[in-house]
Structure 1
């Protein structure tokens, strides 16, 4: 099967998994703050493991085939720095929790502009979509499957977090479903961008893999880890993070 088709399919399925996380909210279930932190830590663990095992390692291996090891490491480092820097800039102007703070302030005029909220979440989901696609573009089908599966699994608690944020701000269930779906469906858009940018030449694919890794590492350390330390359940959340890391490590080795 065409690698580009596999890449876009993997990022699509990983993104759609976000909707699964909204089901407990749509069914009227309440998730305790402790479990929210555990799930968020679990997601962070998957993203951390995916960054190392599924993105950085293949990037270095691919670069070593084409370049000497010193230039290969420098190239991957450049991609890592670029991914971190770009999302640092994005976060500076569009932090993920900015619009949630607006909702808490109760400005009814801004509340109606739900597309702004969608846009903020969408921007931060891009690296996951890119990562799902790039896993297949390495040519390693098993690597692509494990990465898309891991990101799909971590998207479930991410969908729960989005749905919960909307639920506590009194959004109707149909809007909760729609917005959660849209935040997930943007991932194949990120996958398409990755295909267009990094399938041009195998020489720049290692930069793309490292770029996605840098973006994911930034999201985990800047957004997710600080969040799971706010409510006093950091120990439980850390256990969740370790379990997520182990699961992604297992998936990566099973399918490789």
Structure 2
């Protein structure tokens, strides 16, 4: 890797916490702190664009330090109802997602997101619920592929029935940017993208982790900011698997790599 792997100690893990906050309850100070984190890892970004994107979200999971209560990471969220043919479903879209380097490898954000989607699932347990995400970096894709049983796109070609879900939310949230032939979202040459030293794909990583290789094959232009839209079905089995995995504390080598963000063009409030 181009950056040294980081293993947080118990002090780092216990010094932060994460909670979901509706967009109208995020303060100006917190927005400034969110942007300070964001600009550390992204090129072609500015405060105005960041605020426009944030205004298109319903809320965010904020990761804060205990004591100072400073924002050191976040993940923005849009929840929306979906009608795809005869299917009526609910989708949880993850937008910008980033955490400061000192806290890479912690599971604080994943646990907070788990609690959010658990509440969504319990509201209507028999209605399909999907995690909608766009992957600018390989780590975002691994969060999906390493934790979900049913997801698309899949390295083994599984779950092709989920392809219409991807097309549906891309056309709804990002009209004009989805290319059905390549299966990627393209926001243009000056799109926000990860800086060169964040989540690079080395030959070693490409060879040792087939899912990383698959991500690059599906999104070969990721370095300039194109996004691979993905979907995972959130079932009770998926949620139980997450609980068991968190209880064991086991993570693969790929899981321990730095978490990149997943910013995109701001979707309109349509939920």
Assess same fold via TM > 0.5. no
TM-score by length of 1: 0.31
Bigger fraction of residues in helix:
1
- Larger relative contact order, structure 1 or 2 (CA cutoff 8 Å, min sep 6): 1
Q: Which has the higher strand share?
A: 2
Normalised to the residue count of structure 2, the TM-score between the two structures is 0.30
